[in-house]
Structure 1
């Protein structure tokens, strides 16, 4: 890194290596880079509105800092951070145990005709309602796979379920979502 090259321009792998050496500024760049996504991911698992997602991300960030030297593949730190955030969110979900409240994704400078935007928003609202009504285990597995892109093995590790149980819960969740979204095709 040259003097005029900011930390924010470094790759994830370089930031992880520097963080593992105790560079708090490099770790701060990682958290600024992925913190908002971690929060959105945790919020999808926990539901919005009460700050629990922020708390889960804060706990995840602290745990990540304590374990940054254990990252096996520094270039895949994003997945590693998401797993920690998911674990913290799932811990909170287990303690709380009500249904999640998934809300629509906010609009971002959409240039589509208004009717398309309204229809899409209604579809997202319906999907959120359906996901909210899934049993907790199915909802967590579905969100981790469909929203977070986690593998079956990662989901099994994070939820404490077997890979077979994850596949079954995901299949049931997908079937429910497909059946209930049928009218939107």
Structure 2
């Protein structure tokens, strides 16, 4: 979806149009979830729920286009993720989650979902091995599709620093995938 259409949907959602909000959610949530998986792994769904709570709460204050909304949502997600990571340092998880509580997949969707999840999990696991600045830059630029200036705003850095981190991260990922020199962390 292009930024103009997303921006229109955001404006209508801000005015209370529930259908427009569902369009915004369906467009932004998968990318936001991918970004959060790169930051907080298995806790991405919980952090995404907190993020959407904040987005809904503060949507009336947002002004901007589709790209601005993606950046605003990414900023909120990043803050929630960092809060989550700080809480884990204070109160580390002591038990594994029971996977039996997950809802079953429908038969027709399970094969496609499994293939998507394998490639997504592999990509996110490789991104998670990058230094944090490179991982976040790649997640924002590639997964969320933010431009350099918007990604820089989310991270509180200069656009050139984000472009450099993104370039280095993508180069390192490429080397790891091809089995080149980037396989070691040196």
Q: How does the TM-score come out when normalised to structure 1?
A: 0.63
For the residue of structure 2 that corresponds to 1:161, the secondary structure is coil
- Paired residue total: 151
Contact kept in structure 2, 1:134 and 1:173, CA below 8 Å: yes
Structure number with the higher helix fraction is 2
Gaps of 5+ in 2: 89-104, 181-186
Structure 1 match to 2:57: 62
Gaps of 5+ in 1: 1-10, 99-105, 111-116
Structure possessing the higher relative contact order (Cα contacts under 8 Å, 6 or more residues apart): 2
Residue 133 (1) aligns with residue 129 (2)? yes
Contact kept in structure 1, 2:32 and 2:77, CA below 8 Å: no
Structure 2 match to 1:85: 73
Structure 1 match to 2:154: 158
For the residue of structure 1 that corresponds to 2:42, the secondary structure is coil
For the residue of structure 1 that corresponds to 2:79, the secondary structure is helix
Pick closer, same or farther for the CA change 1:148–1:32 going to 2, 3 Å.
closer
Return the offset for 1:31: 4.4
Contact kept in structure 1, 2:71 and 2:150, CA below 8 Å: yes
> Deviations 1:80-120 (Å, cap 9, x if unpaired)?
3321221012213434269xxxxxxx98654xxxxxx69x9
Q: Distance in 1 between matches of 2:167 and 2:32?
A: 26
Structure 2 match to 1:46: 39
Q: Which has the larger radius of gyration?
A: 1
Q: Distance in 1 between matches of 2:68 and 2:145?
A: 12
CA RMSD of aligned residues (A): 3.4
Structure 1 match to 2:101: none
Q: Distance in 2 between matches of 1:81 and 1:91?
A: 15
Contact kept in structure 2, 1:139 and 1:173, CA below 8 Å: yes
Q: How does the TM-score come out when normalised to structure 2?
A: 0.63
